[in-house]
Each structure stands twice: as C-alpha cells, then as structure tokens.
Homo-oligomer: A and B are copies of this chain.
Amino acid sequence: MATGRVRLRDVAEAAGVSPTTASFVLNNRCDSIPMETRQRVLEAAARLQYRPHLSARALATGKTRRIGIVLNQPESFSTRDTYFNEILEGIIQRATEHDRNVLLLSAHYPGWQTLFADITGGSVDGVLQISRFVNDQLTPALLDAGFPLVCVSFHTEHPATLSVDCDNYAGGRLAARHLTDLGHRAIGVLYPGDELSWGAERLRGIRVAMAEAGAKLPASYIRTWDERALPSAEWVADAIRWFKELRPRPTGIICCDEMRARMFAEMLPHTGIRVPDDVSVVSFNSTEISERCTPPLTSVRQPLPEIGRAAVDLLLARIRGQAIPEPIIRFPMHLDVRESCAGPCDRAPAGDKAVLRP
C-alpha cells in the first residue's frame, strides 16, 4: 500500500470493473455508463487516492497539457527583466485558467539543437518564444517541423508565423509626436538596430512623426547598441559622450529600451545635464523601471500581461488545430506621460556650457 503507485488497474479492480470502464468514467467519456457503476469507480479512485500518471497519459494521447517558454540567453534576457516578468504574469495566468502548466526552457543550452530536441521530444505541446534578439536557428526549425509556436514581440519571415506584438510603428510615432508637440526639433534616437523588427519599426514611426512636424533626423542623431550585451556603465558613458558631442545638441532623446533609458536619464545629471530641463527623455515599455526612475520617465507603454494572455490563447488555438482568424496580433501602444519631458526652451541652459569644442 505504502509502496508503489496506485494505477488505473487498481482502481478498476477495487470497483469491480475493467480498466477500460474506469478510464471512461474518470475521463467523463459518457459512453452510457450507469450512475451506479460510475459512483463505484469514482469512490474507489477517491479511496485509493488515485492520481493518473501524466507521462503515461502523455504517451498514450500525445498531449502533455504543458506549454513551454523559451528563455533567451540569461546574459541578455534574464528572469529579472521587468518586461519579461509582466508578460510572464499574463502567460501564467491564462495558462492556469486553461489548466496548462508552463515549462521554462532555457536557451542556455549547449547549442540550440539540444533545446530543439527537448521541445520537439514531447516536453510540451507548444512553445512561446519571447525574444529580444531573434534566435535565427531555432524559430524557423520549429516552424519547419510544424511545431506549434507563437512569437512574442518579434516576427519572422516564415509563412507559418504566429505572433503577438505591439504596434511598434505607432509607438515610435507616439514618442516622437510627444516631443515635437512640445516643440522639440532636434531629437536623438537610441535603438537596437534594424535587425530587430521592433527596433526598426519604432525608428520608422519616429521618422514619420518627425517628418510630419518638419523636423530632420540626421544619421548622426541615431545610435545603435548591441542587444546581445547587457547595458553596462560603459555603455551609458559612451552614449552620453555621443550625446554631448552632437552639434547642435538634441533637446530630446528617445530611447527604445527602458533600462537603458533609465541609466541614461539618471546618469546625465551627474555630467551637468538636467532632465527634463536640458533634455527630454522618452522611454519604451513603461514598467516599474520608468515609473521609479528619477525623474519618472515618460514612456510608451505596451500592455504586457495582455500580450502574454493573447499569446497563450493563440498558441492553444494552434495546438487544438482550430482555425486562426488572426495569425499576427498587434496591440496598440499608449503614452504614459511622466516628468522626463518638457519644452525645449522651458529653462535657460545650465551647467556644462563650458564644453564647446574639445
């Protein structure tokens, strides 16, 4: 009794029926089984504390009731990441509602093939990939294999792509529009480069909004970073050096990454440049990071938990083989106005006037 597991067969024997019948009862396959038998089975199962063996069930049915989340390299995309956590919150919530468990699959593997094997080896019924920088091997391999996959916050060229994302183009416009409305014409942009769809789209939106306001965006005003590296103190220092050497110096900065925006905005005052007095800063995502910055950052918000929930919905539809009316879902973005932006001429320039030319 104490040793070994209670199997379906044990329940069946205790109830005086065949395993088949017990299985039918326990899975509510209402194949015309009378109440009385049904009760006997249920009672036996409860008495013996029967708990079905999930691996056996998975083997027999081909379904695991689990979905996976692919975590990118811990160095560049950790669980500490606020952005990731807010999406994860939505994912877990919805997955739980649908009685699915969530398996964390770390891309910190010895090669993506191992990860690929784990995923397609039947650990999960489908996978959510949340990516800042796109893993260019895993995603198409999974899609080619016909494995249920939903891309969150990024896209691929693959025709089978399902994705949930924000309207980054509109978000970029929103950010730039806010600054031009305040009167800014010289606006610098920090963004991750064009390989990342969200980066490219945000920049495009920024360009359009600036053009609409009659502002120019020279190439020197645009700076990229290496998304594969965590933002470091050196990165901020370099960015500030870049900023200070621009002529004319921008009166506004749009930074497409929240943590970098905060580091930038919080470091600037130490170099004699005030925010928002001397320069306005707009960030993206608008999580706690922007909220808790000094000063709190005006930020373009993504509905992150909602994105997580939508991604789960889409993935489950795909897993169930349902028709998918909208394979690429885009959420609108909103601007959270805080204290990091002001008009370009609100105050007289101060502090670092001494720096004219090196």
Q: Which residues of A contact B (CB under 8 A)?
A: 51-56, 58-59, 64, 66, 71, 74, 78-80, 82, 85-86, 88-89, 92-93, 95-96, 101-106, 108-109, 116-118, 120-123, 292, 294
Contacts of A294 in B (CB 8 A): 294
Would you mind naming 10 contact pairs between A and B with Cβ atoms under 8 Å apart? Answer: A53-B59, A56-B59, A71-B92, A74-B89, A79-B88, A79-B92, A80-B86, A96-B108, A101-B105, A104-B104
Closest CB in chain B relative to A164 CB, distance in Å = 18
Other A-B contacts than A53-B59, A53-B121, A55-B64, 8 sampled, CB-CB below 8 A, are A54-B118, A55-B58, A74-B92, A80-B89, A85-B85, A96-B106, A102-B103, A102-B106
Decide yes or no: A103 and B103 within 8 Å by CB, A58-B55, A122-B54 being known contacts. yes
Looking at A109, A118, A292, the one whose CB has the most chain B CB atoms below 10 A away is A292
The answer to whether A122 touches B79 (Cβ under 8 A) is no
Nearest CB to that of A291 among chain B residues?
B292
The answer to whether A93 touches B74 (Cβ under 8 A) is yes
**CA distance in complex: A78, B82 (Å):** 12
The answer to whether B54 touches A121 (Cβ under 8 A) is yes
Contacts of A102 in B (CB 8 A): 103-104, 106
Contacts of A66 in B (CB 8 A): 103, 123
8 Å CB contact of A79 from B52, B71, B85, B118: B85
The answer to whether B59 touches A55 (Cβ under 8 A) is yes
Closest CB in chain B relative to A267 CB, distance in Å = 14
The answer to whether B104 touches A92 (Cβ under 8 A) is yes
Contacts of A116 in B (CB 8 A): 51
8 Å CB contact of A89 from B53, B79, B120, B292: B79
**CA distance in complex: A75, B96 (Å):** 14
The answer to whether B51 touches A117 (Cβ under 8 A) is yes
Nearest CB to that of A69 among chain B residues?
B104
Closest CB in chain B relative to A20 CB, distance in Å = 19
Closest CB in chain B relative to A265 CB, distance in Å = 13
The answer to whether B106 touches A104 (Cβ under 8 A) is no
Contacts of A103 in B (CB 8 A): 66, 101-104
Closest CB in chain B relative to A56 CB, distance in Å = 5
Decide yes or no: A89 and B78 within 8 Å by CB, A55-B55, A105-B101, A122-B55 being known contacts. yes
Q: Name the 9 nearest CB pairs between A and B, nearest first.
A: A55-B58, A102-B104, A96-B106, A51-B117, A54-B121, A55-B59, A55-B55, A51-B121, A54-B122
